Structure 1
Amino acid sequence: MLDILAETGLLGSKPAGTPMDQNHQLASDAGPLFPDPCQYRRLVGRLVNLAISPPELSYSIHLLSQFMQTPRQAHWDAALRVVRFLKGSPGQGILLKSDGNLELSIYCDADWQSFPLTRRSLSSFVVLLGGSPID
Structure 2
Amino acid sequence: MLGCKPAESPIETNHKLQAGVRESVDIGRYQRLIGRLIYLSHIKPDIAYAVGLVSQYMHDPRESHLEAIFRILRYLKSAPGKESLFSKHGHLQIKAFIDGD
> What TM-score do you get using the length of structure 1 for normalisation?
0.64
Gaps of 5+ in 2: none
1:76 maps to which residue?
A: 66
1:103 maps to which residue?
A: 91
How many angstroms does 1:52 deviate by? 1.5
Is 1:48 aligned to 2:38, yes or no?
A: yes
Give the whole-Å Cα distance in 2 for the aligned partners of 1:63 and 1:87: 20
Gaps of 5+ in 1: 1-9, 106-127
Partner amino acid for 1:59?
Y
1:54-65 equivalent positions in 2, closer than 5 A:
54-65=44-55
CA RMSD of aligned residues (A): 2.0
How many angstroms does 1:28 deviate by? 4.9
Partner amino acid for 1:90?
P
Higher relative contact order (CA 8 A, sep 6+): 2
Which is worse superposed, 13-22 or 50-59? 50-59
Instruction: State percent identity of aligned pairs.
Output: 36
* Structure number with larger C-alpha Rg: 1
SS state of the match for residue 50, structure 2?
helix
1:125 maps to which residue?
A: none
Q: Is the 8 A contact 1:32 1:73 kept in 2?
A: yes
Give the whole-Å Cα distance in 2 for the aligned partners of 1:14 and 1:60: 19
Q: Is the 8 A contact 2:19 2:57 kept in 1?
A: no
SS state of the match for residue 18, structure 2?
helix
How many angstroms does 1:45 deviate by? 0.8
Q: Give the length in aligned residue pairs.
A: 97
2:16 maps to which residue?
A: 25
Q: Which runs of 4+ in 1 moved over 4 A?
A: none
